[in-house]
Structure 1
Amino acid sequence: MSNDSSAPIIGTHNGHFHADEALAVFLLRLLPEYRNASLIRTRDPETLNTCTIVVDVGGVHDDSAKRYDHHQREFTATFPDHSTKLSSAGLVWMHYGKQIIHAVTGLDSSSSDCGLLYTKIYDDFVEAFDGNDNGIATYDPSALRKAGIDKKFNDKGFTIASIVNRYNYAPSAREGADGATANGTTTSGAPVPKDGKQQDEEDSRFLRASAFVGEQFSLELEDRANSWLPARAIVKQAFEERTQYDPKGRIMVIPYRSEGVPWADHLHSIESSSKTPQEQLVLYALFAENDRPDSKWRIRSVSLEPGSFENRKGLPEQWRGVRDEELSKVSGVPGCVFVHASGFIGGNVTFEGALEMAKKAVDM
């Protein structure tokens, strides 16, 4: 922790920490005014009053006072056009997200591109922190029980919140903090006192957790700014040109780009905003494996929704799990390479072959 009295101070609570304040602190430190801020973790009101900005503690949400707690009974704030109650992570993102995007990417905070990223990052990353910290499940648990739907496996170990929680307890996260060892004693064998070294040790673990969630955020923002955002114009053009491959527009061709074209999100968004009729939704997207003239081509089924493993229309059942010459015979299309056993993707040695596969598949 910095002791530079000239630096601003970020305050949050001590004790057991969660993913939301770990992210909130990291987000604040992306802003120029808090880049060199020190951090105080306490629940003492007088100490918190000395802080420049406070998150996840204090019982106050007041942007003008730079106080961002969400635990008070009367708190009901949500991100614009969303229903999930905010946590400290969502509060910081709602109030400072556009400034953070500008600080990291250089985008004008008032631009439409910044606005797109602001909402996209909340939707795909920050909102999950809010839901988790406020005990809001992705699906209504009672509705799932009534429908008789059970989990196929326990996914707790796969969530960012679960990983952050490990930093509260994992012995490896406690070692080396001001002489503390893995069993909670000093190097002399005496118990670590409740204040002083134990607080330093706890703060050290919090900073490790904050760095972890911060890295995930940074990867998300970098990908969305450098890949997802530029792809929007490419996908929009491909969508507008799709009827040259199928009269109903059910086949779309994605131009090759070395850094990739994350098209699925944009396609769903464009179809929704344009109110595309059900019978004209895109079923298959075609794209080259590389930029060489002899590149092989892929045919990809469009998912029911972004990230879903279900498809609008999988490739024909009789093609699935079949390869090469046998697949060409079964499909009647020369140059086939494969179709995945689940029917979500296939390949052909030429664009013409992949297009023919798609044309046959849309009506089968």
Structure 2
Amino acid sequence: MRSQNLSVCSTQSTSREIMVSDNSSPQEPTATKRQRPEMKIGTHSGTFHADEALAVYMLKLLPKYKNSTVVRSRTPDILEACDIIVDVQGKYDGLKHFDHHQRDFSETFSTDFKTKLSSAGLIFKHFGKEIISDELNTSVDSADVSLLYTKLYSAFVEAIDGNDNGESAYPDNIKPAYNASGITLPSIVAGYNPSWNEPRDDVYMDTQFEKASKLMGEVFSSKLKFYAKSWLPARELVRTALVESTKYDDEGRIMVFDTTVTWKGHLFDLEEEMKIEGRTLYVLYSDGASWRVQAVPVSNESFTSRKPLPEPWRGVRDQALSDLTGIDGGIFVHASGFIGGNKTREGALEMAKKALEM
């Protein structure tokens, strides 16, 4: 993802503008800079939060707003002079105004989600596909962009929305075992604001907001890179393995990878999508030196397997395991039966096939 150098103007109580940084290229001709219209992103001055810090960063990932100035103010006329306004003014129209504080606001990301949007969710809802397509260098209408759009919201942005709107991820009757609030991104962003007994001058506040926006944006960009470059390719490998599973068992109960792949979460999603829930019982993969045969759990969060490896094999190792199973190259079977090992791909596959019949 592109790195950013935010330009922030403070107009908290007057029309005074303070330029913290300039994004224009030093080689750009002066005439060109004069001709280029300066876009402005408006948000509120004073104490800032994770949602508008992220919203501003996401906007500046777009070509239209890449070189824009961020105007932080509470003065309506100054804000209305901006090209887009986030987290202030009490309006949401999906075009210029992206605030969520009005009494009748109830917008969610889609009908599949219940969490009310913050300014971060609003900007992502309207511009997320464009941001993702730019990262992938592909059409905004592609299936991959749509998939990542929903995944990135549910895996990251939704939590920012819920936190800013005071919506707990847990029922009220569940008491946490410890306090994790101090290590969340919103709490870290809050720490960039001055303490009650520290100065709150405009220049300092704008500088701190710039730091907070950069922090939120770097995490967002890292998440997007992971889901685009790692999570998505792994999903396609799991899909291929599911399609090819009938090569190893007529009912498609054995899935084979020739390398280590993050498969578990994808398996449950794809089984549901392909309407084959519960079909896969064993997954084979290489750890680089030997092979593993792992029993699939009943759910992504469960330690209970759909079909554990046979009870007589559990806790047996090496030659004793080979003698017991009649399969050369035995390494081990875990005492719970959730995983076993063999020196070769052929041996691991034979273990899985024999386990199906026991």
- The corresponding residue for 2:141 is 110
Could you tell me how far 1:341 is from its partner in structure 2? 7.4
Cα deviation for residue 333 of structure 1 reads: 5.4
Matched, 1:78 2:108: yes
In the TM superposition, residue 327 of structure 1 has moved relative to its aligned partner by: 6.2
What are the residue-to-residue correspondences of 1:143-222 with 2, within 5 Å? Answer: 145=173, 150-168=175-193, 184=198, 192=199, 194=200, 198-222=201-225
Q: For residues 229 and 168 of structure 1, what CA distance do their matches in structure 2 show?
A: 37
Residue matched to 1:46: 77
User: Structure 2 vs 1, CA of residues 209 and 315 (structure 1 numbering), >3 Å: closer, same or farther?
Assistant: farther
The aligned amino acid for 2:271 is: E
CA 1:202/1:338 → structure 2, altered by over 3 Å: closer, same or farther? farther
CA drift at 1:318: 7.9
The one-letter code sitting in structure 1 at the alignment partner of 2:97 is R
Match of 2:55 in 1: 24
Give the match for residue 158 of structure 2.
Answer: 127
Distance 2:151 2:237 in 1: 18
Give the total of aligned pairs.
325
Shift of 1:89: 0.9
Matches within 5 A, 1:1-364: 1=7, 3=19, 6-64=37-95, 66-81=96-111, 82-141=113-172, 145=173, 150-168=175-193, 184=198, 192=199, 194=200, 198-256=201-259, 261-278=261-278, 280=279, 282-290=280-288, 295-306=289-300, 308=301, 310-313=303-306, 315=308, 324=318, 334-337=328-331, 345-359=339-353
Change (3 A) 1:111 1:334: same
Shift of 1:151: 3.3
Tell me by how many angstroms 1:106 deviates.
0.9
Contact 2:45 2:74 (C-alpha < 8 Å) held by counterparts: yes
Contact 2:305–2:338 (CA<8 Å) still a contact in 1? no
The 8 Å contact of residues 234 and 255 in structure 1, kept in 2 or not, is answered as no
Aligned residue type for 2:252: G
2:186 alignment partner, SS class: helix
1:71-113 deviations in whole A, cap 9, x for unaligned? 1111111112322211111111110011111222211111222
**Gap regions ≥5 residues in structure 1:** 172-182, 185-191
Percentage identity across paired residues of the two chains: 48
- Local SS of the residue matching 1:215: helix
Tell me the distance in 1 between the aligned counterparts of 2:266 and 2:90: 39
CA distance in 2, matches of 1:164, 1:339: 47
Displacement of 1:57 in angstroms is: 1.2
TM-score of the superposed pair, with normalisation by structure 2: 0.78
Aligned-pair CA distance for 1:245: 3.1
SS of equivalent residue, structure 1 residue 11 = strand
| Structure-2 separation of matches of 1:357 and 1:169 | 62
Residue 238 to residue 57, structure 1, CA distance change in 2 (3 Å)? same
Q: Specify the code of the residue in structure 2 equivalent to 1:165.
A: A
- Deviation track 1:127-150 (CA, whole Å, cap 9, x = no partner) reads 111122122222333xxx3xxx54
Q: Go from structure 1 to structure 2 and tell me whether the alpha carbon gap of 1:230 and 1:334 turns closer, same or farther (over 3 Å shift).
A: same
- For 1:296, the aligned partner's letter is S
- Which range moves more in the overlay, 221-230 or 319-328? 319-328
Q: Equivalent residue of 2:192, what SS?
A: helix
Query: Which ranges of structure 2 fall in alignment gaps of 5 or more residues?
Result: 1-6, 9-18, 23-33
Higher RCO by CA contacts (8 Å cutoff, separation 6 or greater): 2
Superposed displacement of residue 41, structure 1: 2.0
